[in-house]
Structure 1
Amino acid sequence: METQREEVTSYKISKKGVLKFLIPSLFGVAIFLFPIKDGTSFNIPLGLITEYLIDLLSNYLPLIITYTMIISTLFSLVTYFFKPGILMKSKFLDSLFNVTLSWLMIRVIGTIFAVMTFYDFGLKMIISESTGGTILGLLTTLIIWFLVASFLMPYLINFGIMEFTGTLLRGFIKPLFTLPGRSAIDLLASWIGNVNVGVVLTREQYLSGFYSGREAVAIATNFSTVSLPFCLVIARVLEVDHLFPVFYLTVVIAGIICAIIIPRIPPVSKIPDTFYVENNYTENVPKNMSKFKWAMTQAVKRAESAGSFKEQVKQGYEVFAGIAFTLIPQVMAIGTIALIIAEYTSFFSIISQPMVYVLQLFQLPEAEMAAPATIAGFIDMFMPAILASDIEAEITRFFIGALSLVQIIYLTEMGTLLIVSKMPVNLWNLFVIFIERTFISIPIIALIAHIIF
């Protein structure tokens, strides 16, 4: 530690270094966190850019998605069976296409589902608008979110803002959420922005050695919430949008309480605090140095080691390629299978029977009709709203809507991204965390709902 103090006290902060920290970091914060009025709601610049590109390219995106999966699967098959030198010698290409047999099969299945859905042939249960059609449509949106976020994310994570806030906020973030102070920016970006962007941001910090496995999973499963505009959509579908301020406040209160409790109980608390790679970063403030000066020192050192604009573009390209060629076919496969189970079997109706008694305990009307909606959110974030839209009792619709937004772990998107993210979490862990978030949130949301109604 003494060696570290000597290095810190001798480090000179230059005006150029401060500017290299401030300008890119403020740009990144503005893109990911700055709210802008968008019609009747608010959005962030990242969201506005993404939505513009989605509208511009909407006619071509299903084709692009489908053939991205075809390319990914063909290269993966060639790599698995023939091990060509041109692919195996490249660390980057090897990371994209050299996969285990199980993940190869998932890529093949996802690509078959995509081709069948895009060209509209084959089993109806696969290509239906409520199964394969839903996932392919979702991926056309995701690909643009990932494209924009991948190239802009370096300005949020490479130029020192996370180091700066980490040192200043550690005394608040650590005791409250058991997380490092640098996660403050990640927590805000995950909560305010798109859920998938939050997962990718957390994954990149984990792969760079800034978060331990436990910390990364805790952040991803507690702060990667759906965006505020989507919350408004859910409120409108359930016809409780006239209560939106208190509806969203309910989601925030329950979400924060979950974020305080979940990291302290299994399975998250049992995940080892080990790092994917070694990293010498520390938030501990050396003696004889103010917290602000240490924060500025850490930030400037990080900014000065960030590299050139070309290196930021390269990083963005590699992040995006990794998502496009690895995550997309896997989301197509797992998401479609999950929706087939939900749509064509009575699985969720059966397993949700105990929830009838829980809802009755909290005196929520139409408990039998509402029970499946309390579990179906594990498959897709929109399913609870669909299942609850015909419920007559407004208090129950309010309850289901808020609960579905606090649960946040769903397989069609966020859950699958986590499973394939290299973070130390599996399907069973995610289901347990989903159930924990559900039971922690139910009494909170029910209490607020009874106060309102």
Structure 2
Amino acid sequence: MKALFGSLVGLLIFFVPFSVGSGKSTVPLVTIIGAIKAFLGANLEYITLGLTVLLCITWIASKVTGNAALQRYHRKDNAMVGLLFVLGAVFAALLVFKIGPDWFLHKDVGGLALYLGGSVFLTVTVAGFLVLFLTEFGFLEFVGTLMEPLMRPLYRLPGRSAVDAVASFVAAPAVGIFITNKLYKSGHYTQREAASIATNFSICSLGFFALLASIGGIMDYLPHMIISSFVINFVLAAVVTRMPPLSRKQDIYFDGQPAQDAAEGTGVPGGNILMRACTAAAERASMTGPDVFYKYFWEAATFAQKIVAYILSIATIALIVGTYTPVFDYLGVLFEPLLNLFALPDADKIAPTVLLSLAEIALPAIIIAGADVAPMSVFFVCTLSTIQIIFFTESANAMLESDIPLSVKDLMVIFLIRTVLAIPLVALAAHLIF
């Protein structure tokens, strides 16, 4: 009963849409986050500022005071990371108090970074806390046991990794990464599995799909974007997980123990798979106590706090470079012949956007918004952004902040591999739809 009740609460919060107010159906998680945003209003900017300044202060204090608690909190934060914390706090102060030139304060540059910082903090904190109903009451074990026959042969991954993908899809990529990191540290995933899941199943959230379609002016094709992205993401995962650098990651657990070829769930061979899934869920739920509520809230909030600092520092710089310099235009020249090969209209206009998602997922759509670009190509740009997965305003920073063994070099290589492999598949989907 404990497993059933807890899992049902998690399913209702994350996956079951309800009609609220205007009649628009949304999942309770989105409604809760939206209600908190509406309640906080403009105060969210000051909260974002406070978070970055506090993080900056605690990092400096951890280096000069020798406080054990602060040192534990910043144990992975070296001088470069500390510089990003300071830079994030400075940028946040300038943006909140509207200090600086117009090109910096612009709503699509500094304004976008400030908005994303507050939005991501709320989303990761709320969703990261509520996800305990999916992770601590046996739902992962239930799904993992059922999905094992599919996930192992196709992706060389545990069945429970399917839940990570769905959590990202419904909430945010950072939420999926938070779950993956949590399970990696608790011994559910090996280094290779955790790295593969984080970089292939931290799918763009439904909210971002709507945002991109709205910016690009193709809301009528929102369902097509979602279905195309979901299918292509799972196709790519089967390939990318078998390629370097992911294939070269070690099959050892967080504590250094080698991987065991043990079946998920109860480990009982044979029998009815549904019964084994239910038994596995019940066993997991029996180990969950009331302390997980405080533990999950604290871990989600502190995890989100550092991501906010990264967004305010790295994303602001990336948005400035992408908006005001020709750097990405030069990089786009490499992809124009490839886009022409797949007969995409306005290839010269959309080629510069191909690599922009590395900085921010919405940047490609923003760059072509209002331009004279064919709807097919707008669809291509927006859908490709959702498939590239790795972007430094959120998912990449969350991966680097986690304990999963992924370096900046790894992320750059995986981003390029996914981009090159995704282009023909997204182009095919565009031609089939238009």
TM-score for the superposition, normalised by structure 2: 0.91
1:55 CA displacement: 0.9
Q: Secondary structure at the match of 2:334?
A: helix
1:96 and 2:77 matched: no
Per the TM alignment, residue 124 of structure 1 is displaced from its structure 2 partner at its CA by 5.3
By how many angstroms is 1:392 displaced? 3.2
Q: Is the 8 A contact 2:118 2:308 kept in 1?
A: no
Q: Distance in 2 between matches of 1:372 and 1:79?
A: 42
**Aligned counterparts of 2:89 and 2:74: Cα–Cα separation in 1:** 14
Give 1:300's aligned amino acid.
A
Alignment correspondent of 1:184: 162
Question: 2:228 touches 2:426 (CA, 8 Å); kept in 1?
Answer: yes
- Does the CA contact (< 8 Å) of 1:96 and 1:325 recur in 2? no
Question: Which is further off, 95-104 or 280-289?
Answer: 280-289
**Residue 82 (str. 1) matches residue 65 (str. 2):** yes
Q: Say if 2:146 and 2:274, in contact at 8 Å, map to a contact too.
A: yes
1:213 to 166, 191, 194: 191
Relative to 1, partners in 2 of residues 1:394 and 1:156: Cα closer, same or farther, differing over 3 Å? Answer: same
Q: Assess if the C-alpha contact under 8 Å between 1:135 and 1:335 holds in 2.
A: yes
2:125 equivalent among 147, 158, 162: 147
Note the alpha carbon deviations across 1:308-350, whole angstroms, 9 max, x for none. Answer: 2xx0222123213322443322222121122222123211111
Match of 1:60 among 43, 46, 65: 43
Q: How far apart, in 2, do the equivalents of 1:138 and 1:153 lie?
A: 21
The aligned length equals 427
Q: Distance in 2 between matches of 1:439 and 1:105?
A: 33
CA RMSD of aligned residues (A): 2.3
- Bigger mean CA offset, 184-193 vs 423-432: 184-193
Q: Where does the alignment leave 5 or more consecutive residues of structure 1 unmatched?
A: 1-18
When Rg is computed on C-alpha atoms for both structures, the one with the higher figure is: 1
Instruction: Identify which of 203, 227, 231 aligns with 2:181.
Output: 203
Does residue 301 of structure 2 align to residue 321 of structure 1?
yes
The secondary structure found in structure 2 opposite 1:411 is: coil
Does residue 445 of structure 1 match 2:410? no
1:46 paired residue number: 29
Q: Is the 8 A contact 1:111 1:332 kept in 2?
A: yes
TM-superposition CA deviations, 1:51-83 (whole Å, max 9, x none): 111111122111111112111111211110221
Report Cα offsets for 1:371-430 as digits up to 9, x if no partner: 011111111111111222313322222222221222222111211111212211122222
- Match in the other structure for 1:402: 383
Q: Give the counterpart letter for 1:23 in structure 2.
A: F
Once the two structures are TM-superposed, the CA of residue 111 in structure 1 deviates from its matched residue by 1.0
Q: Contact 2:164 / 2:202 at 8 angstroms: preserved in 1? A: no
Residue 277 and residue 322 in structure 1: after superposition, are their counterparts in 2 closer, same or farther (change >3 A)? farther
Work out which of the residue numbers 154, 160, 163 in structure 1 matches 2:138: 160
What's 1:362 paired with?
342
Match of 1:312 in 2: 292
Cα deviation, residue 364, structure 1: 1.4
Displacement of 1:290 in angstroms is 4.3
Q: Partner residue of 1:256?
A: 234
Q: Hey, what does 1:7 align to over in structure 2?
A: none
- Percent identical: 30
Report if the CA contact (8 A) 1:33-1:193 is conserved. no
331, 344, 351: which one pairs with 2:311? 331
Aligned to 1:231: 209
Cα distance in 2 for partners of 1:314, 1:368 equals 52
**Does the C-alpha gap of structure 1 residues 160 and 238 become closer, same or farther in structure 2, counting only changes over 3 Å?**
same
2:89 aligns with 111
Distance 2:145 2:346 in 1: 49
Supply the distance in 2 between the matched residues of 1:168 and 1:394 (Cα, whole angstroms). 40
Equivalent position to 1:303, from 274, 278, 285: 285
Contact 1:96 1:326 in 2 (8 A): no
Gapped runs of 5+ residues in structure 2?
none
C-alpha distance in 2 between matches for 1:321 and 1:312: 14
Displacement of 1:171 in angstroms is: 0.8
CA distance in 1, matches of 2:245, 2:64: 37
Residues 188 and 312 of structure 1, relative CA distance in 2, 3 Å threshold:
same
Q: 1:111 to 1:399 in 2, by over 3 A?
A: same
SS at match of 2:354: helix
Instruction: Write the distance in 2 (CA, Å) between the matches of 1:97 and 1:272.
Output: 26
Distance 1:314 1:278 in 2: 28
1:137 paired residue among 110, 115, 125: 115
TM-score normalised by length of structure 1: 0.87
Q: Does 1:418 align with 2:399?
A: yes
The separation in 2 between residues aligned to 1:230 and 1:287, in whole angstroms, is 42
C-alpha displacement at 1:37, in angstroms?
Answer: 5.0
Q: Say if 2:358 and 2:392, in contact at 8 Å, map to a contact too.
A: yes
Of stretches 95-104 and 283-292 in structure 1, the one that deviates more from structure 2 is 283-292
Tell whether the 8 Å contact from 1:203 to 1:423 is kept in structure 2 after alignment.
yes
